[in-house]
Structure 1
Amino acid sequence: MAAQLRFSPLHYSAASFAGNRRPFAGNLLKTSIVLPTTSPLSSSASLSFLLRSSNPKLSQAFTAGGGGIGGSGHRGSGGGGDENDGHSGDNRERSDLVGPIGLFVNGWRARVLADPQFPFKVLMEEVVGVTACVLGDMASRTNFGLNELDFVFCTLVVGSIVNFVLMYLLAPTTAVSSAAAASLPSYMFEPGPFSLLDRIGTFAYKGATFAAVGFAAGLAGTAISNGLISLRKKMDPEFETPNKAPPTVLNAITWALHMGLSSNIRYQTLNGVEFVMEKALPPVGFKASVVALRCLNNVVGGMSFVMLARLTGSQKVGAEEAKENLITDGSTVVESGEEELQRSDSHCK
């Protein structure tokens, strides 16, 4: 029976067991197997348990060949246990990673298992999303940002970090239980038996998450951009930036406010609008509308950040600083003139 299972086409992927319930299981195990179809991982675990209870050798054969649930799943078809053992050893070595790199690798693998399209989505968000955000940022500046390229570069660095971290944190994983997922809606306007307090809690939780990510990314991105500009000045002493470098902490606070308020509101609204469009539009129209809306959302995000940075004073252009200095110097001249006039009056008396 182990040979029959090992060389069967059903051996390649756990998903094929969940999607094709043929008499194979009944003839082999003399019982009917009904597998849940919620996720490939749960189907694999259920089948492995049933095979283990019937015959341990069958369980070993299944787990050795079906390790790549999210991948091609075609390895080990030629029959050699050495090849499968080598792959399982690699899997154990990768899972034994510790520290921040191990946490990241394991988290990335869990997200890819839950959504095989996750790497493509991250790539599109980094390319399309960040580009749209930078275009919106430049459109809000004078001369299309050509006189403020240092600020634009800072937005590019911070935006890239923010987009990746948020997509990583918000992506579903195979380790999330259904009870935890159902405790709060994923966004405010998600349909379901959620109370008003639950929806407000979701808005506050997402806002706090976005703000924390924005602050951390603002610190890292501003420090990186300022460091690169300083390195450029050391390499080229004649290089001068047209504007003063943004303060690291103040710029990070600005990013935290932007992410916690502007990005959070747009995130909640966009998800609600997409839910309505999915019900009203055909699939092709829905996908095209989603692409257009998300590009527009990133453009609006870039423009709103520039406005907030102007209000907080984290990014001041050279003309604004010169104007402030002129006003300050003018008030100083007026004050000194008044003092001289008072001194002359006292001498006359």
Structure 2
Amino acid sequence: MASVAQVHYPHISENSHRLHPASHIPTFHLPDRKFLSKSSLNFSFSSLKSKPFNPNLLPKLQPLLCGAGDSNGGGKDSGGEGGGGGGSSDDPPQSDSFGPIAAILSGWRSRVAADPQFPFKLLMEELVGVSAAVLGDMATRPNFGLNELDFVFSTLVVGSILNFTLMYLLAPTMTSSSIPLPSIFANSPTSHMFEPGSYTIMNRLGTLVYKGTLFAAVGLAAGLVGTALSNGLIKMRKKMDPNFESPNKPPPMFLNGITWAVHMGVSSNLRYQTLNGIEFLLQKALPSVFFRTSVVGLRLVNNVLGGMTFVMLARATGSQSSGEKKISNDLDEDN
């Protein structure tokens, strides 16, 4: 049998000793002769004969044939568990190529670790909170906002973005992963002004000012995006339907963005920071079921109030003019 193997596998005998020491080449043992038949031998060797052995595959096949392990033959147990605590050389390298996505995911894990109820609060904020804000917005407009659906849609888009941002930036984080505030606010709470700790009143007011400035910047950006989207949809509808006439004057993009910045920096900042402090106290005092019910109720009231205050502010700044006057003028002309 050995002579037959040498006839059909000259590549192994010629190249294997040159590539690797003999001690690293696995030894194959053929089964007992009584279990082999002529037909099986002919089939096996004839099928392999047509495909010559490639000596370049030996380095890749050697770990599979000889058993996985490190160069010292110790495997993972060499030097203790996990290679002496230093980690395996085969572990995939850590990559920072995802950039902002990796930072958001890391921040999410830190927030969930600090507050296990954070995902539920965020879900309620987006489902209940945004819906309540839209209802409050519509309730403050003439004819329940049916004549100003373009403004309502803009509120819906901007509100969805801003509510997530508010929740994310005000949520507590683990101490090791919390982002330090600027030097002027270095001694202030990092999450919200009612965060537990030995902070002075000035420190807590510093958080209020810092977060308010941050929210105003986010509100300006989201307001510009939402206004541009709303105005773009109105223009698109006019192209599709030349007879369509919007009952309202399209809001000036920059002025509407400023309005959102003021609303976020003042109204939303005060309401959400207070809400975080109340929820912190309720989470300690109430069972989980009652606490979650209180979260839904509080965020419902908070967002209805927020929607109403934004409409009043938009009317005051003139960024969203009601179509009521235009409709009344048209009726007077018809009469």
Match of 1:112 among 94, 103, 108: 108
* 2:216 aligned residue: 211
Report the more deviating stretch, 235-244 or 301-310.
235-244
Q: Equivalent of 2:201, from 188, 192, 196? A: 196
d(CA) in 2 for partners of 1:166 and 1:242? Answer: 32
Give the direction of change, closer, same or farther, for the CA distance of 1:122–1:268 in structure 2 (3 Å limit): closer
- Is the Cα contact below 8 Å between 1:166 and 1:213 reproduced in 2? no
CA distance in 1, matches of 2:208, 2:79: 46
> Is residue 292 of structure 1 aligned with residue 297 of structure 2?
yes
Aligned residue runs from structure 1 range 253-264, under 5 A? 253-264=258-269
Deviation at 1:191, TM superposition (A): 3.2
Given that residues 112 and 119 in structure 1 are in contact (C-alpha distance below 8 angstroms), is that contact kept between their aligned partners in structure 2?
no
Partner SS state of residue 183, structure 1: coil
**Structure 1, unaligned runs of 5 or more:** 1-50, 65-80, 326-349
Between Structure 1 and Structure 2, which shows a larger proportion of helix residues? 1
Q: Deviations over 1:260-284 (max 9, x none)?
A: 1111111122122223333443332
What is the aligned partner in structure 1 of residue 156 from structure 2? 156
Instruction: Name the CA shift for 1:56/1:138 in 2 (closer, same or farther; >3 Å).
Output: same
Q: In the TM superposition, what is the alpha-carbon distance from 1:54 to its structure 2 partner?
A: 6.3
CA 1:58–1:287 in 2, change beyond 3 Å: closer, same or farther? Answer: same
1:283 aligns with 2:288: yes
Cα distance in 1, alignment partners of residues 241 and 303 from structure 2: 34
* Structure 2 residues not aligned, in runs of 5+: 1-76, 331-335
1:133 positional shift? 1.0
Query: Which of residues 64, 85, 107 is equivalent to 1:59?
Result: 85
Letter in 1 for 2:85: S
Give the whole-Å Cα distance in 2 for the aligned partners of 1:259 and 1:176: 28
For residue 309 of structure 1, report the CA deviation from its aligned partner: 0.6
The letter for the 2-side match of 1:114 is S
TM-score norm. by structure 1 comes to: 0.62
RMSD between aligned residues: 3.3
**Alpha-carbon separation, structure 1, partners of 2:278 and 2:214:** 22
CA contact (8 A) 1:208 1:260 kept: yes
Contact conserved, 1:111 with 1:172, CA < 8 A, in 2?
no
Higher relative contact order (CA 8 A, sep 6+): 2
Is the alpha carbon distance of 1:165 and 1:284 closer, same or farther for their aligned partners in structure 2, counting shifts above 3 Å?
closer
Aligned with 1:270: secondary structure? Answer: helix
1:234 is displaced (CA, Å) by 1.1
Q: 1:238 to 1:57 in 2, by over 3 A?
A: same
Percent identity between matched residues is 59
1:315 Cα deviation from its structure 2 partner: 0.6
Deviation string 1:190-223 (CA, Å, 9 cap, x unpaired) is: 3321111101101111111111111111111111
Q: Are the aligned partners of 2:170 and 2:192 in contact in 1 as well (CA < 8 Å)? A: no
Aligned to 1:31: none
User: Shift of residue 108 of structure 1?
Assistant: 2.2
Correspondence for 1:225 among 226, 230, 240: 230
What's 2:271 paired with? 266
Indicate yes or no: 2:122 matched with 1:126: no
- Match for residue 249 of structure 1? 254
Matched, 1:183 2:209: no
Please give the TM-score of this superposition, normalised by the length of structure 2.
0.64
Which SS does the other structure have where 2:249 is aligned? coil
**In the TM superposition, what whole-angstrom CA distance separates every residue of 1:7-33 from its partner, at most 9, and x where no partner exists?**
xxxxxxxxxxxxxxxxxxxxxxxxxxx
1:142 aligns with 2:142: yes
Question: Structure 1 pair 96/207, CA: closer, same or farther in 2 (3 Å)?
Answer: closer
SS of 2:85's equivalent in the other structure is helix
Shift of the alpha carbon at 1:324? Answer: 9.6
CA contact (8 A) 2:170 2:273 kept: no
Distance across 1 between alignment mates of 2:281 and 2:175? 29
CA–CA separation in structure 1 for the residues paired with 2:206 and 2:138:
34
Q: Secondary structure at the match of 2:160?
A: helix
Contact 1:154 1:222 in 2 (8 A): yes
